[in-house]
Structure 1
Amino acid sequence: MASGCAPPKLEEFILTEKLGSGTYATVYKAYRKVNSREVVAIKCVSKKSLNKASVENLLTEIEILKTVRHPHIVQLKDFQWDSENIYLIMEFCAGGDLSHFIRTRRVLPEGVARRFLQQLDFGFAQHMSPWDEKHVLRGSPLYMAPEMVCRQQYDARVDLWSVGVILYETLFGRPPFASKSFTELEEKIRSNKAIELPPGTRVSRECRDLLLRLLVRDPERRITFEEFFTHPFVDLDHMPSAESLEKATALVVDAVKKDQSGDLSSALSLYCKSLEYFVPALHYESDRRRKAAIRSKVTQYLSRAEELKLLVAKSNRANFEQAKSARDILKEMSQDKPRLLAALEIGSVAIAKDEEGDDSEETLDLYQQSLGELLLMLASEPQGRRRTILHKEVQNLMSRAEYLKEQLKMRETQKEAATMDQDPFSESVKSSCSLQ
């Protein structure tokens, strides 16, 4: 269907503005003529554009969408056909799709990008016929995995590459292979040059790791579905759900008990963990009154966590001074082990940055680099005084790293809560299984 043509006519509906179009289909906003004047989206698929493989895929799409009832997938209400077109009558989503949402905002905060990532549903690609008789590629080229562009056999792992491209686009406002022509795009996708993040961008360590593991050209080396779903950035345990508030409440009850008993360090940790569920609970809750009540609690617990942070830091100072003396002794005892000395030095740099107020991802990375080496050293260290001091130093660095990690998570929670206040778009963007 040419873009300039008038919308097709259906007896029960009035088709109005065009919402989008692809290789096989054009989608219109429509109103039901009688009774409720229900608003729907109608996908019109031209029969002339369909070959054997695309007919199979369309039938598969109809079959799957008829049975799927999911808050993040567009509902198929009905389908009709005439001599020219097949019509899929679908739920209308006023917020638009994810690509529209990205275009209107250009880039998304990492926390918002994570929420969208948690809402993806997989498993549709495995039902699709991968090739038609003319070996014509289907879908948007920007999101095609290299094995598709190179016309190799492919499987559901192409979805993982596509997710990587989507995540990249949400964070940086453009796909990793922005190109002026399909030829240029194809050359970039076929290239062996490693994917790089835009210079000067700041994303968390977990986010960077997931992006670079999704955007691996060789599907055999690409992250697996199992690894994706258990990845710390995807963090499905903290996705908004009916259980989020229950989990948050259980943790905060324990936090209050620890707080009242004087165990401030444990209370702080529990408050931080509860807040990681309270924010998803805010995302999930649709009732304004209950949402306001949860928001009030979040503000209250954040305030108490900040107070505890100061108190715990004050009580830790004496312990940190003792640990510094032990660390100096350990360095003197380790002059014959340059690798151990280097690991201790990295730990010292992390501590110095931490005590100067540099509570950043970079400082946490230094702690983890140091601990990775020191744990190996500890495993091979024979019994004796040096091993005892080394064991205490590892415990000290672990404690500091864990404390810093909690502060980073709390800061992210505060930022995400603030983003929810500022951004009127708080509902899910739905996805649909579509023939592009």
Structure 2
Amino acid sequence: MARPGWAPPRLDGFVLTERLGSGTYATVYKAYSKKDTREVVAIKCVAKKSLNKASVENLLTEIEILKGIRHPHIVQLKDFQWDSDNIYLIMEFCAGGDLSRFIHARRILPEKVARVFMQQLDFGFAQHMSPWDEKHVLRGSPLYMAPEMVCQRQYDARVDLWSVGVILYEALFGKPPFASRSFLELEEKIRSNRAIELPSRPPLSRDCRDLLNRLLERDPTRRISFQDFFAHPWVDLEHMPSGESLARATALVVQAVQKDQEGDTTAALSLYCKALDFFVPALHYEVDAQRKEAIKVKVGQYVARAEELKAIVTSSNQALLQQGTSARELLREMAREKPRLLAALEVAAAAMAKEEEASGGGEQDALDLYQHCLEELLLLLAAEPAGRRRDLLHTEIQNLMARAEYLKEQIKMRESRWEAEGLDREGLSESVQSSCTLQ
């Protein structure tokens, strides 16, 4: 393998230039084809002398998988060659660098930007791993290794989920959870039984923190499953940018306009908000500048109408809250001998007060309070015997759920508007080289 300062290896048909990066087994170079097209590629050079039997099998598996894959979020393997010293994987070149460089250039990523990368992961390699074949074999950087790889030397595909958690942690906080000043310190952190603690800053959504905690679970049997990861609300694969995003947004807008014309403001507002959830991914997916600008204009129009409807619905909701005051006070009176129920209702009251004063982003604090009290109230409802108090509690829970859903829509609408306005400034149009090319 070429070392720093050495000339890159020679390969028929290509001119290898700058070194893009290196990993445990390989060095990746930028290269140009000698053909008339002068195509730019990335060439992964794997030194044969660095490979043991398991490493050779892993490389052959990688080549076999990549040969048959054509996917917008996976670096394409165009060809491969070999000589007496190296094996060469000729791959698609991505000008944005790898994900690690993208993160380090920005120090930390906003939560919505990190979500875009999480939506683009592909776990196709995991199905080719056998836990018995992996015994005693360690690959990659210890910073990204699941604890069972180091402590037990036997693992399965669930280690990928830990690595995803490490990548997400690094994207959001600027460093991996096991960042250390020495290898001894790193090893101590890996072998520790202490749960991974998430920094309090920057503030993250509840769903994001939940996913991080479940990915960075030391015990692989308790770690989130692949199925639950893909279904997790923070990953939100339903709204992943795709060729269908614009069509789905348009269909929802048609329904919103119809409800708007019928005078059903609540339903119209909800549908406009749902449409915006697909318009932003449509903007991410669109590459034609003229069409992208046309979508942005439409988004601005729909946001403006949604804001008008929001004012109407908010006024109506405030009236409904006032009408329910007497029932709410009766429920509080009936809960005097139940401290847990009374405490949960106090949190609900705080959520309502926070919602009334919320503006310019304060809705998230109110939503957090609503979600906290609802978790407790639903547990208490299940244990509450039939009777007047249970009926009142059930009605109150329905009202609180409606308030929470309304706030969720408002928060999403605001974020969608901001994201649509600042999409180009985030740099998400840059092509980012998959870090799996540096194994």
Mark yes or no: TM-score above 0.5.
yes
Which blocks of at least 5 consecutive residues in structure 1 are unaligned? none
Partner residue of 1:413 out of 407, 412, 416: 416
CA displacement at 1:295 relative to structure 2: 1.1
- Deviation larger for 397-406 or 354-363: 354-363
Secondary structure of residue in 2 paired with 1:36? coil
The answer to whether the 8 Å contact 1:97/1:430 transfers is: yes
Deviates more, 1:144-153 or 1:57-66: 144-153
Q: How does 1:121-270 map to 2 (within 5 A)?
A: 121-128=122-129, 135=136, 137-270=138-271
Superposed, 1:235-314 pairs within 5 Å as 235-314=236-315
- Contact 1:51–1:132 (8 Å) recurs in 2: no
Query: Structure 1 residue 80: deviation in Å?
Result: 0.9
Structure 1: distance between partners of 2:159 and 2:422: 32
Contact 2:81 2:88 in 1 (8 A): yes
**What letter matches 2:336 in structure 1?**
Q
State the distance in 1 between where 2:276 and 2:211 align.
Answer: 24
User: What is the CA-CA distance between 1:315 and the residue it aligns to?
Assistant: 2.0
Q: In the alignment, what sits opposite 1:338?
A: 339
- Range that drifts further, 333-342 or 317-326: 333-342
- Indicate yes or no: 2:407 matched with 1:404: yes
Contact 1:205 1:361 survives alignment (8 Å)? no
Q: Does 309-318 or 90-99 show the bigger shift?
A: 309-318
Letter in 2 for 1:226: Q
Distance 2:163 2:363 in 1: 30
Tell me: CA distance 1:133–1:228, structure 2 relative to 1, closer, same or farther (3 Å).
closer
Percent of residue pairs identical: 73
Query: CA–CA distance in 1 between the matches of 2:363 and 2:183?
Result: 40
Change (3 A) 1:342 1:18: same
- Residue equivalent to 1:93: 94
Matched position secondary structure for 1:89? strand
1:395 lines up with 2:403 in the alignment: no
Q: 396, 412, 434: which one pairs with 1:431?
A: 434
Whether contact under 8 Å (1:60, 1:128) holds in the other structure is no
1:362 matches 2:365: yes
Amino acid at match of 1:33: K
| Displacement after TM superposition at 1:55 (Å) | 0.9
Question: Any idea what SS the aligned residue of 2:252 has?
Answer: helix
Residue identity matched to 1:17: E
Q: Which letter does structure 2 place at the counterpart of 1:215?
A: L
Q: CA deviation at 1:236?
A: 0.6
Instruction: Deviation per CA, 1:307-339: give whole Å up to 9, x if none.
Output: 211111112222111112221122223333333
Asked if 2 retains the 8 angstrom alpha-carbon contact of 1:113 and 1:170, the reply is yes
The count of corresponding residues between Structure 1 and Structure 2 is 436
8 Å CA contact 1:52, 1:132 repeated in 2: no
1:314-368 CA distance string (max 9 Å, x none):
1222211111222112222333333332222221111111112164433223212
Query: What's the CA shift for 1:380?
Result: 4.9
